Amino acid sequence: MRRNFWAKMVIAGFLMLFVFLETAEARDYRVRKKAGGFTFDITLNRNPPVLGDNDIRIHIKDAQGHPVQEARVLVTYYMPPMPGMPPMNYTIPTQLKDTAYCATMDLIMTGPWNIVIRFRNQGRWMKTIFPIDVR
């Protein structure tokens, strides 16, 4: 009877460990935004975003759901103004890899940041903005 009890406890312990490890695995930070007939699917490789390098991947689709692959895409990330602090505002270009525009943001401080995705397609600029909280 005691042997059965300990066997069940060991199995329960492994199951709890498995559940903990499964939920502890970080997922990508994902945002979907729409602007001007375009859909932006944005992914950061850190969730939550952290100090240092955070890779961003941007998929842009037109109103028909086709990937936009011949655009100039810029990522601007900035921290809103705070008393006694100089502005932090950075703009980086992206590179097209497969169907995603990719770049690496170097987030230098914890707290709230805004990400602005701008792209030029067929002579016109479009943009979308979303906030993140860096930990």
What is the domain-level CATH number for residue 89? 2.60.40.10
Domain for residue 104, yes or no? yes
pTM over 0.85: no
Distance CA 45, CA 8 (A): 38
What is the separation, in whole angstroms, between the first and last Cα of the chain? 49
- pLDDT value for 87: 86
Report yes or no on 95 lying in a domain.
yes
Is 42 a domain residue? yes
Token pair belonging to 46: 């850190």
Q: Does 111 fall in a domain?
A: yes
Rounded Cα gap, residues 135 and 116, in angstroms = 19
Residue 13 belongs to a domain: no
pLDDT tens per residue, range 24-63: 456 999 999 999 899 999 999 999 999 999 999 999 999 9
Helices marked H in 59-99: none
pLDDT at 18 over 90: no
Please report the pLDDT score of residue 22 as a whole number.
43
Specify if 14 maps to a domain.
Answer: no
pLDDT digits (tens, 9 = 90+) for 53-105: 999 999 999 999 999 998 999 999 999 888 998 889 999 999 999 999 999 99
- Tell me if 17 is assigned to some domain: no
Tokens representing 121 are: 């397609």
Q: For 101-125, write each residue's pLDDT tens digit.
A: 999 999 999 999 999 999 998 888 9
CB-based contacts of 37: which residues, under 8 Å, 6+ apart? 62, 63
- What's residue 67's pLDDT? 96
What does the pLDDT read at residue 20? 45
* Sign of the four-CA dihedral 41, 46, 47, 52: negative
Q: Please tell me the total count of domains within the chain.
A: 1
- What's the domain range around 40? 27-134
